[in-house]
Amino acid sequence: MTIAVVDYQGGNVQSVLFALQRLGCEQAVLTADPDLIRSADRVLFPGEGEASSAMRALRASGLDRVLPTLEQPFLGICLGMQLLGRHTAEGVTAAGTPLLNMLPFDVVRFAPTDPTQKVPHMGWNALQALQTPLFTGLTGDESPVAADYVYFVHSYYAPVGAYTIAEARYPARESFSAAVRYRNFYGLQFHVEKSGSVGEQILRNFLTEGFV
């Protein structure tokens, strides 16, 4: 199986490549080549940083036109998930930043009213309301003992909608989209590559032959 990890000078790429190595994936390549990306069996779209800078890099390379046309299983991670949406409030101006428009959500900033709830939302949090085979083998249990914990670092989020396939709660137990899907495009708000055995199970599911 060939795996293309999209290179647009975004952060967190090496930890994704290391996670793939731990799973025994020998054919993962970091690339911005449209032909390699189109021909890969799976596409991973990691990201860490700021949305407007990421969108400038994607437009400069032409990848903003390539990614929406892909038909194989595609997984955005953290900022890579947010970039799949229509618009984000994050940007160098108050108008925010137009995104790739691959999924029907707008990204907004956490605005907790409780001063003990800090932004960014950072640390381990439990997944709930799990849908699709991406989460095969996980419980989705809300009890602290049985819950599936993953690692988040983000100040912006996608609200819960028809595209949501997993939820988490923050702040004050308000739900947001921890994972999204539209057709073959999946996105994870958390750092799957830093989420221990739960993250490995999710990546393993995504890489399984026949996953759609």
User: Annotated catalytic sites, by residue?
Assistant: 78, 191, 193
Q: Tell me how far apart the alpha carbons of residues 69 and 66 are, in angstroms, rounded to a whole number.
A: 6
Backbone angles phi, psi at 109, to 5 degrees: -95, 140
Query: Alpha-carbon torsion 56, 78, 194, 46, what sign?
Result: negative
End-to-end Cα distance, the chain:
14
Q: Tell me how far apart the alpha carbons of residues 13 and 48 are, in angstroms, rounded to a whole number.
A: 9
Q: Tell me how far apart the alpha carbons of residues 207 and 47 are, in angstroms, rounded to a whole number.
A: 19
Count Cβ atoms below 10 Å from residue 136 Cβ, excluding itself: 13
51 alpha carbon, distance to own chain's centre: 13
- The tokens describing 178, both together, are 């921890």
3-state SS class at 207 = helix
